[in-house]
A and B are shown apart, each in its own frame.
Chain A
Amino acid sequence: MQRVTIDPITRLEGHGKIEIFLDEAGEVANAYFQVPELRGFERFCEGRPVEELPRITPRICGV
């Protein structure tokens, strides 16, 4: 089975990878979109004062 890897996906904010698998006829048999990135805002915003979150969460995406 032939495999086409698009790594990284470009011209977007963030990190992404696509794996495409082709069958014997060269048709797409399956494709997987993967996000090889995590920073963990869900965890490290815990414990921060609520009034500080408008200064932290904009860094989820700065684009």
Chain B
Amino acid sequence: MAKLKLALYWAATCGGCEVAVLDLNEKILDVAAAADIYLWPVAMDYKYKDAEAWPDKFIDVCLFNGAIRNSEGEHLAKLLRAKSKVMVAFGSCACFGGIPGLANVADREGVFARVYGETPSTDNRDGTRPQTSFAVPEGELTLPHFYDTVKTLGQTVPVDYFLPGCPPAAKQIWAVVQAIVAGQLPPPGSFVGVAEKSVCEECPRVKEEKKVTAFLRPHQVIPQPEKCLLEQGLVCCGPATRGGCGAQCINANMPCRGCYGPTERVTDQGAKMLSAIASIIDASDEAGVKKVVDQIVDPLGTFYRFGLPNSLLTRVRV
């Protein structure tokens, strides 16, 4: 059997997804035995012009991580979509926008103003900003166009499979790699490397009646290790989040922040989390409810931590 042709690419990302692949440890050798990697910028040398020269559908499987932040990311998404038989949105940035998607609280001008002007460590008296085209004595230099809004991979090109997580758990990656090699992938459009139910189903903590009278911040409480974090007043996104991670954060006594995205039947993860919060508040009147809700410091950055571009909101109006 001919070896699989694999491509791994990153757009707006941190590289943690690449390291998650390396977390396969010695199994990476099995990947190398079954597949030839044609593109992987973090680990191998290649140039964009090499990828442009491939015939269409040359690559069997492309694992694409990162959100689409600028015109370069969009170009590579479209290029690799054309060159790949199977396109996998790999990791939460590609699936939902991820942490870079939080930039949808601002537009291009808002990001540039802060980054190139206002931060205390910035000394930019000339107000220099990135230019898409810049004339130097030797010729013209170009940079990608920075968009106002971060998009997911699926909002940019058709995606065959979604493998979420920040990063995806190594054992889930391995299961998907095995399915790819065996030709046993589910129908296109599916999420892979995930559990069917929510993080709460994977969470080993004892869950009793949820009646929350106050939401607490970490300096206000040392969480009991065996009791549901939500019941202790710590905002935990487990009820709104798809399992598959093995409840890693919760097992470290940290509440879930939702990196595996919404569960199968949920469209908007933050709305689902609002619904979960609304159902557990123990207050007798509207003023009492408001008092409890106001203790949630940053609803947007908590409930949409990994998925603002993928939400019904997609972004904050500015």
Q: Is the CB of A39 within 8 A of B103?
A: yes
Residues facing A in B281-318 (CB within 8 A) are 297-298, 301-302, 305
Q: Is the CB of A43 within 8 A of B115?
A: yes
Q: Which residue of A lies closest to B219 (CB)?
A: A51
B106 within 8 A of A: yes
A13 within 8 A of B: yes
B297 proximity list for chain A (CB < 8 A): 49
A46 proximity list for chain B (CB < 8 A): 114
Interface residues on A, range: 35 or more
- With A38-B146, A49-B298, A59-B166: A11-B44 Cβ-Cβ less than 8 Å: yes
How near does chain B come to A52, taking the closest CB pair, in angstroms? Answer: 7
Chain B 1-22 against A: per-residue CB contact (8 Å), 1 yes, 0 no? Answer: 0000000000011111111000
A62 within 8 A of B: yes
How near does chain B come to A54, taking the closest CB pair, in angstroms? Answer: 10
Cα A43 to Cα B137 in complex, Å, equals 33
Q: Is the CB of B115 within 8 A of A63?
A: no
Q: Is the CB of B16 within 8 A of A63?
A: yes
Which A residues fall within an 8 A CB radius of B? 1, 3, 6-8, 10-15, 19, 21, 29-30, 32, 34, 36-40, 42-44, 46-49, 51-52, 55-56, 58-63
Q: Which residue of A lies closest to B121 (CB)?
A: A42
A13 proximity list for chain B (CB < 8 A): 14-15, 42
B127 within 8 A of A: no
B212 proximity list for chain A (CB < 8 A): none
Cα A12 to Cα B15 in complex, Å, equals 9
Cα A18 to Cα B252 in complex, Å, equals 43
Q: Is the CB of A30 within 8 A of B16?
A: no
Partner of B103 from the list A40, A48, A62 (CB cut-off 8 Å) is A40
- With A39-B103, A43-B115: A10-B46 Cβ-Cβ less than 8 Å: yes
Residue picked from B219, B257, B297, most chain A C-beta under 10 Å: B297
B262 within 8 A of A: no
Q: Is the CB of B15 within 8 A of A63?
A: yes
Q: Is the CB of A38 within 8 A of B111?
A: yes
Partner of B139 from the list A1, A43, A51, A56 (CB cut-off 8 Å) is A1
Partner of A19 from the list B98, B141, B302 (CB cut-off 8 Å) is B141
A58 proximity list for chain B (CB < 8 A): 14, 16
How near does chain A come to B112, taking the closest CB pair, in angstroms? Answer: 8
Q: Is the CB of A63 within 8 A of B19?
A: yes
Residues facing A in B31-62 (CB within 8 A) are 41-49
Cα A21 to Cα B138 in complex, Å, equals 7
Q: Is the CB of B114 within 8 A of A40?
A: yes
- With A8-B47, A62-B15: A3-B70 Cβ-Cβ less than 8 Å: no
* 6 residue pairs A–B, Cβ–Cβ below 8 Å: A3-B138, A15-B72, A40-B103, A44-B106, A52-B298, A58-B16
